């Protein structure tokens, strides 16, 4: 479905991604885990076309989107929930959600709005509220709703749990599973290894802009290096 | 009592021009974070265009005004595409854009001197006669400035808050990357915003030209007042700039009622400094586009 092949990204003269390749299959949840500054957000932005890759391919269902405008992605079935929600704070919740369907017809948008509110019913009473005045958790719901309004086949989620309470983390995890069960593939990034790999079918470990490890969620959680560095556990057999 | 009505009317008339100019600058700054130092020259170009169409060619003033607004909108769009858009692609664009627009401003002033010379020209009044409001007598031309400026700003607000284009502009102003992510072509929105801003400047120029002279430097004073209005209104707030424009006009009008006219700028900029002191983010901060 979505293939990132040999992606390099530079910020000015500084290279931040090196030969990154990832794959998101239809109906999969795939996570990108890594420490701060490892380039996780840049991977998602490069996939979405918000940051230009200096080398490599972004292929969605056989079509190479690399070098094409970011505005094309929602039309092709890819959308993103940006880090820290990034809502349009002075607009209403309804306007924020509707803008997610910017590239679609009114009829399509209205249909998808019903579907989105079915998945996120808690948003219904807040539709006329100003988005910037909602709590962090509610704002994350709006951001997810906005992302879903493009009716994506693959949804990118940049640090979806950042700044949320433990209860909201559980809620957002459940919503991600629900979305996935409805046929939407998800590529998300997260710093917390346990959260990241427990939620995903497959995962990638990114360090200093390079993919250093990949495997199924279970394999990643059981990998000695992940256990030692990211889960704070001693590898079996260690002294 | 009549003197008070006259002061208020004069203040509102001057303020309406400040509001037109300032709201254009605020719209551009609020959406693109660009301070366009060549905005005053859009006023000047519009002044010469309306002079050319209505006086040199002798065309109907409404047709001349319409053509002027269309052409100045094109000039604003061209300015953005040719000068600013290439710089915005760079990470370190902020200072470069200021330098480029200052350079463009000087270029356009010098160009106007070469093409039209240094002499000051004036348009005839569009509206003849004098309105009588109680004991106050006010030329219809001046009343028309206020009425037409209000209509233009109301139309702009309608576009901004009630149309798909306005929604695209507001989304881009509030978060350009998020707007791009949902499919809004932010580059085109930036160009459209410069065109709208140029129309607002052009409207100010057309309304002003019968009262003040058209000359290569006519935009400079209004640019400075426009910046003052943008700061007072809360950087980038369209509604704030409109309100601040009228406020500044009223303050100047009351000021020169009790002090010599030469003190006009001293009064307005002293007020600006006082406001910055008390409210560094302006009087209407946080009410952006």
Note the ipTM here: 0.92
Residue ranges in chain A whose pLDDT is less than 70 = 234-239
**What percentage of chain B carries pLDDT values higher than 90?**
82
Put simply, the answer to whether A102 touches B184 (Cβ < 8 Å) is yes
The sheet with strand A55-60 has its strands ordered as A14-24, A2-11, A55-60, A63-64
How far, in Å, are A41, A57, A70, B150, B238 from residue B154 at the CA level?
Answer: 42, 48, 34, 6, 11
Backbone angles phi, psi at B138, to 5 degrees: -135, 130
Q: At what angle do helices B39-51 and B93-116 cross, to 10 degrees?
A: 20
pLDDT of residue B282: 86
Give the residue from B35, B32, B9 showing the smallest Cα distance to B224. B35
Give the residue from A199, A196, A201 showing the smallest Cα distance to A230. A196
Mean pLDDT of all residues in B168-184: 95
pLDDT of residue B288: 57
pLDDT at residue B243 greater than cutoff 60:
yes
pLDDT of residue A236: 55
Beta strands in chain B (DSSP E): 130-133, 136-139
Which pTM does this prediction carry? 0.88
Tens-digit pLDDT profile for residues B75-99: 999 999 999 999 988 778 888 999 9
pLDDT of residue A48: 97
Mean pLDDT of all residues in B162-169: 94
| A150 contacts in chain B (CB < 8 Å) | 182-183
pLDDT at residue B270 greater than cutoff 80:
yes
pLDDT of residue A234: 65
Q: Tokens at residue B108, please?
A: 């356009």
pLDDT of residue A49: 95
Give the C-alpha separation, A219 to A217, whole Å: 6
Put simply, the answer to whether A146 touches B182 (Cβ < 8 Å) is yes
Mean pLDDT of all residues in B214-220: 95
pLDDT of residue A207: 95
pLDDT of residue A239: 42
* Least Cα separation, residue B288 to chain A (angstroms): 8
Q: At what angle do helices B186-208 and B140-162 cross, to 10 degrees?
A: 170
**Count of A-B CB contacts under 8 Å:** 62
Which of B181, B189, B238, B284 has the highest number of chain A CBs within 10 A, making it the mutation to test binding with A?
B181
Mean pLDDT of all residues in B135-164: 93
Put simply, the answer to whether A82 touches B181 (Cβ < 8 Å) is yes
pLDDT of residue A238: 46
- The answer to whether B226 and B10 are in contact (CB under 8 A) is no
* Least Cα separation, residue B92 to chain A (angstroms): 10
* Minimum-distance CB partner of B182 among A11, A72, A99: A99
- The answer to whether A88 and A131 are in contact (CB under 8 A) is yes
Put simply, the answer to whether A74 touches B178 (Cβ < 8 Å) is no
Tens-digit pLDDT profile for residues A163-212: 889 999 999 999 999 999 999 999 999 999 999 999 999 999 999 999 99
Portion 84-113 of B in contact with A at CB < 8 A: 91
Q: How confident is the model at residue B287 (pLDDT cuts 50, 70, 90)?
A: low
* Least Cα separation, residue A173 to chain B (angstroms): 22
The sheet with strand A29-33 has its strands ordered as A78-81, A154-158, A185-190, A29-33, A202-207, A210-216
Task: Find the closest chain A residue to B171 by CA distance.
Answer: A88
Write down the number of H helices and E strands in chain A.
9, 10
Give the Cα-Cα-Cα angle A183, A187, A189 (nearest 5 degrees): 145
CB atoms within 10 A of CB B151: 11
Whether B183 has its CB under 8 Å from any CB of chain A: the answer is: yes
Whether B162 has its CB under 8 Å from any CB of chain A: the answer is: no
Which of A50, A88, A156 has the highest number of chain B CBs within 10 A, making it the mutation to test binding with B?
A88
Give the C-alpha separation, B126 to B148, whole Å: 12
| A80 contacts in chain B (CB < 8 Å) | 181
The DSSP H or E segment spanning B140 is helix B140-162
**What percentage of chain B carries pLDDT values higher than 70?**
98
Q: Tokens at residue B142, please?
A: 């001046």
Q: Tokens at residue A153, please?
A: 């086949």
Backbone angles phi, psi at A186, to 5 degrees: -130, 130
Put simply, the answer to whether B185 touches A150 (Cβ < 8 Å) is no
CB atoms within 10 A of CB A84: 13
Put simply, the answer to whether A50 touches B185 (Cβ < 8 Å) is no
């Amino acid at each position: 479905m979505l293939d990132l092949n040999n992606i390099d990204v530079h910020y000015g003269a500084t290279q931040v991604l090196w030969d990154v390749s990832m794959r998101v299959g239809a109906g999969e949840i795939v996570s990108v885990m890594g420490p701060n500054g490892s380039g996780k957000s840049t991977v998602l932005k490069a996939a979405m076309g918000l940051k230009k890759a200096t080398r490599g391919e972004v292929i969605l269902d056989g079509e190479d989107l690399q070098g094409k405008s970011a505005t094309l992605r929602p039309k092709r079935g890819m959308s993103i929930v940006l880090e820290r929600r990034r809502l349009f704070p002075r607009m209403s919740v309804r306007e924020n959600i509707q803008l997610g369907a910017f590239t679609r017809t009114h009829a399509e948008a209205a249909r998808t709005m019903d579907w989105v509110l079915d998945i996120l019913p808690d948003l219904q009473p807040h539709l006329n509220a100003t988005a910037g005045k909602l709590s962090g958790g509610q704002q994350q719901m709006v951001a997810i709703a906005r992302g879903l309004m493009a009716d994506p086949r693959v949804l990118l989620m940049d640090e979806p749990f950042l700044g949320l309470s433990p209860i909201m983390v559980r809620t957002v995890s459940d919503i991600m599973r629900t979305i996935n069960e409805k046929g939407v593939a998800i590529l998300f990034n997260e710093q917390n290894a346990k959260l990241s790999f427990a939620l995903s079918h497959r995962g990638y470990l990114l360090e200093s802009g390079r993919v250093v490890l990949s495997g199924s969620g279970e394999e990643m959680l059981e990998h000695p290096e992940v256990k030692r560095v990211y889960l704070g556990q001693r590898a079996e057999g260690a002294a | 009592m009549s003197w008070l009505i006259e002061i208020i009317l004069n203040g509102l008339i001057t303020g309406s021009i400040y509001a037109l100019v300032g709201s254009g600058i605020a719209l551009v700054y609020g959406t693109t974070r660009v301070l366009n130092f060549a905005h005053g020259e859009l006023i000047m170009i519009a002044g010469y265009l309306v002079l050319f169409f209505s006086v040199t060619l002798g065309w109907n003033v409404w047709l001349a005004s319409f053509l002027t607004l269309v052409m100045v909108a094109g000039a604003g769009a061209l300015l953005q595409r040719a000068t600013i858009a290439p710089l915005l692609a760079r990470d370190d664009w902020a200072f470069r854009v200021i330098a480029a627009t200052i350079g463009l401003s000087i270029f356009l002033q010098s160009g106007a001197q070469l093409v039209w010379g240094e002499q000051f020209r004036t348009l005839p009044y569009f509206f003849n006669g004098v309105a009588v409001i109680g004991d106050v007598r006010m030329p219809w031309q001046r009343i028309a400035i206020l009425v037409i400026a209000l209509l233009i700003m109301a139309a702009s607000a309608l576009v901004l808050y009630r149309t798909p284009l306005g929604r695209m502009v507001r989304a881009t102003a509030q978060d350009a990357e998020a707007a791009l992510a949902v499919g809004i072509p932010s580059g085109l929105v930036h160009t459209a915003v410069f065109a709208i801003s140029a129309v607002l400047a052009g409207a100010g120029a057309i309304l002003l030209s019968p009262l003040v002279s058209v000359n290569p430097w006519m935009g400079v004073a209004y640019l400075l007042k426009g910046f003052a209005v943008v700061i007072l209104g809360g950087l980038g707030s369209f509604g704030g700039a409109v309100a601040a424009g009228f406020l500044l006009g009223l303050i100047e009008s009351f000021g020169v009622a009790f002090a010599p006219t030469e003190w006009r700028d001293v009064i307005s900029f002293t007020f600006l400094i006082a406001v910055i002191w008390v409210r560094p983010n302006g009087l209407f901060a946080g009410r952006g586009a």
